[in-house]
Amino acid sequence: MANSKPIPTLPFLLLTLAFTQQLLLSSSDQPFVGFNIGTDVSNLLPPTQLVTFLKQQKITHIRLYDPNPDILRALSATGIRVIVSVPNNQLLAIGSSNTTAFSWIRKNVLAFHPHTLITGISVGDEVLTTVPSSAPLLLPAIKSLHAALVASNLQNDVVVSSPHSASIILKPFPPSQAFFNQSLSSFILPLIQFLSETNSPLMLNLYPYYVFMQNRGFVPLDNSLFKPLPPSKEMVDPNTLLHYTNVLDAMIDAAYFSMKNLNVTDVIVLVTETGWPSKGDSKEPYATRENAVTYNSNLIKHVFDRSGTPLHPETTSSVYVYELFNEDLRSPPVSEANWGLFYGNATPAYLLRVSGIGTFLASDNANQTFCVAMDGVDSRTMQAALDWACGPGRANCSEVQPGESCYQPNNVKNHASYAFDSYYQSHGKSPGSCDFKGVALITTSDPSHGSCIFPGSKNLSNNTKQVVNTTHSSNAGDNLRLRPFGIRSIKISAINNILHILMVAAFPTLLFLL
């Protein structure tokens, strides 16, 4: 260092510090909320429309379950960051051949980079627990793909990792006693070490929903939903005396303690899947719209609060919500088709409560929402719903009478839409007020036309906007994603008795002081 350089003055240092802090705050390293997008739907949004929708919603990070070239091409020059995935059925070829790995990178990354911001590759999906026969191929595949990135000088732009089920971690509560499944140690240890060497994250699919469902009576619902808790209901780790106000933080810290047991402390947890279903069958009573709204709203706020976890308050994990769109082609149970925030046609399945966090998810906190009739419903069923709305439901149907402003077009769907919206608006857009036995849906598009002004527009023009709460587009819908992997409730089954056993046997008085 040359001694002749002038010593910076204090104002200059303060200015530099302020600039550096601002740079850090605007850095892409800051925690974010992204969304998983797949294609298991009957009516898929065309890629260009999908990208337009993402931009409208101010969504900056997505994860695709396969490197769909049309979507990647449509993402060009948008600034949206994307993780692309290697399906499980490609592990054998990539893990066995460096040439195949180089070809994959050339076809699915280099063909789009840098115009499309591909920032990560997720290799396989829960391979160690769902397809253990492929476990020996996982790290070789990751290393081969990374080597291809190094050869292309992209190793600093694109990370390579693999999403794992939470069940690779045993005894997750208290977090301080968690450890990786020892039967998988020959695969996990070298993988974690490789992630450390390459500055890559540990990808985990973490579902407090399944933890709650499989441990009801021991894990309170409020803890799973990020609801504010009095100290008496917080989860307490008896070894560290750290207090946990939500299940997700406890699961993340369990991963950090598990890595610490392997002498690895510099790998960050990236939550590649988390969410809550909005609808379920009779065996899934907690898969409801209200719980989905509460979980995902509080999750998003929790990430944007940047409060970290009790063990690492300085580190907030980024998360990818499962998922952006419902998938009507998913196999039973019912919840499998109802994890999305939106239907495939971009109408909301429900609306979040995330006002005050900027423009993210632009339409989720927009006050202008309407209830309209769904397409494809037979006229007899729609007529019955219309008759109920204008009769026992006491909707104002005067505008759809002959000669009035909303009579034309004179068909049952048009009249039903007006009646449904009248009922919906008069009930304050409350949960369930846009249902009508599955023939109605919520939309942010104003259905008014010509001189026909719908009740929602009249409310806005009269400065009587309602605060958006929870609403739902009742039944089937058009949805989105390709995911050739197992049902989540089966994949998480290894967690089934973990918390139960620990809560009862290890620390029954400290876990939940109810």
Residue 505 has pLDDT above 80, yes or no: no
Across 11-31, average pLDDT: 42
Element (H, E) at 349: none
Residue 313 has pLDDT above 60, yes or no: yes
Q: Assign 228 a pLDDT band (cuts: 50, 70, 90).
A: confident
Q: Assign 476 a pLDDT band (cuts: 50, 70, 90).
A: very low
Q: Is 473 in a helix, a strand, or coil?
A: coil
Which residue has better confidence, 427 or 7? 427
Specify the pLDDT at position 367: 54
Residue 176 has pLDDT above 50, yes or no: yes
Residue 469 has pLDDT above 50, yes or no: no
Question: What percent of the chain stands above pLDDT 90?
Answer: 64
Burial class (CB in 10 A: 0-12, 13-18, 19+), 370: buried
Dihedral sign computed on CA atoms, order 250, 158, 108, 133: negative
- The per-residue DSSP string of 430-454 comes to -TTSS-TTTTEEEESS---BTTB--
- Of 367, 444, 363, 450, the closest CA to residue 414 belongs to 450
> End-to-end distance of the chain based on CA atoms, in angstroms?
62
Task: Report the amino acid identity of residue 332.
Answer: P
Residue 27 has pLDDT above 70, yes or no: no
Q: Are 347 and 57 in contact (CB under 8 A)?
A: no
Q: Are 127 and 92 in contact (CB under 8 A)?
A: no
Q: Is 273 in a helix, a strand, or coil?
A: strand
Across 78-102, average pLDDT: 96
State how far the Cα of 300 lies from the Cα of 64, in Å rounded to an integer: 20
Q: Assign 20 a pLDDT band (cuts: 50, 70, 90).
A: very low
Across 43-72, average pLDDT: 92
Residue 26 has pLDDT above 80, yes or no: no
Q: Is 460 in a helix, a strand, or coil?
A: helix
User: Half-sphere exposure (CA, 13 Å, Cβ side) for 383?
Assistant: 5
State how far the Cα of 53 lies from the Cα of 500, in Å rounded to an integer: 42
State how far the Cα of 196 lies from the Cα of 225, in Å rounded to an integer: 32
Q: How far is CA 469 from CA 10, 281, 418, 433, 465, in A?
A: 50, 24, 21, 11, 12
Specify the pLDDT at position 226: 93
Decide the pairing of beta strands 202-205 and 269-274: parallel
Specify the pLDDT at position 362: 55
Which residue has better confidence, 350 or 235? 235
Q: What is the DSSP letter of 319?
A: E
Q: Is 126 assigned a catalytic role?
A: yes
Q: Interior CA angle at 371 toward 368 and 375, to 5°?
A: 130
Q: How far is CA 281 from CA 64, 342, 412, 433, 477, in A?
A: 28, 20, 31, 21, 17
- Of 416, 414, 375, the closest CA to residue 395 belongs to 416
Specify the pLDDT at position 357: 66
Q: Assign 347 a pLDDT band (cuts: 50, 70, 90).
A: confident
Task: Report the amino acid identity of residue 180.
Answer: F
Burial class (CB in 10 A: 0-12, 13-18, 19+), 500: middle
Question: What percent of the chain stands above pLDDT 70?
Answer: 80
Q: Assign 506 a pLDDT band (cuts: 50, 70, 90).
A: very low
State how far the Cα of 333 lies from the Cα of 488, in Å rounded to an integer: 10
Q: Assign 122 a pLDDT band (cuts: 50, 70, 90).
A: very high
Highest-pLDDT range among 27-31, 297-301, 455-459, 475-479: 297-301
What's the pLDDT tens digit per position in 485-503?
Answer: 334 433 443 344 334 333 4
Catalytic hit among 273, 284, 323, 327: 273
Burial class (CB in 10 A: 0-12, 13-18, 19+), 290: middle
3-state secondary structure 191-241: HHHHHHHCCCCEEEECCHHHHHHHCCCCCCHHHHCCCCCCHHHCEECCCCC
Specify the pLDDT at position 18: 35
State how far the Cα of 96 lies from the Cα of 276, in Å rounded to an integer: 37
What's the pLDDT tens digit per position in 91-119?
Answer: 999 999 999 999 999 999 999 999 999 99
State how far the Cα of 105 lies from the Cα of 94, in Å rounded to an integer: 10
Q: Assign 68 a pLDDT band (cuts: 50, 70, 90).
A: very high
Q: Assign 447 a pLDDT band (cuts: 50, 70, 90).
A: confident
Specify the pLDDT at position 168: 97
Q: Is the peptide bond before 323 cis (omega within 30 degrees of 0)?
A: yes
- Alpha-helical (H) ranges within 331-411 are 379-390
Sequence-distant (6+) residues with CB within 8 A of 373 are 382, 385, 413, 414, 416, 417, 420, 439, 440
- Of 349, 249, 338, the closest CA to residue 299 belongs to 249
Residue 248 has pLDDT above 80, yes or no: yes
Q: Is 424 in a helix, a strand, or coil?
A: helix
Burial class (CB in 10 A: 0-12, 13-18, 19+), 315: middle
Decide the pairing of beta strands 202-205 and 163-165: parallel
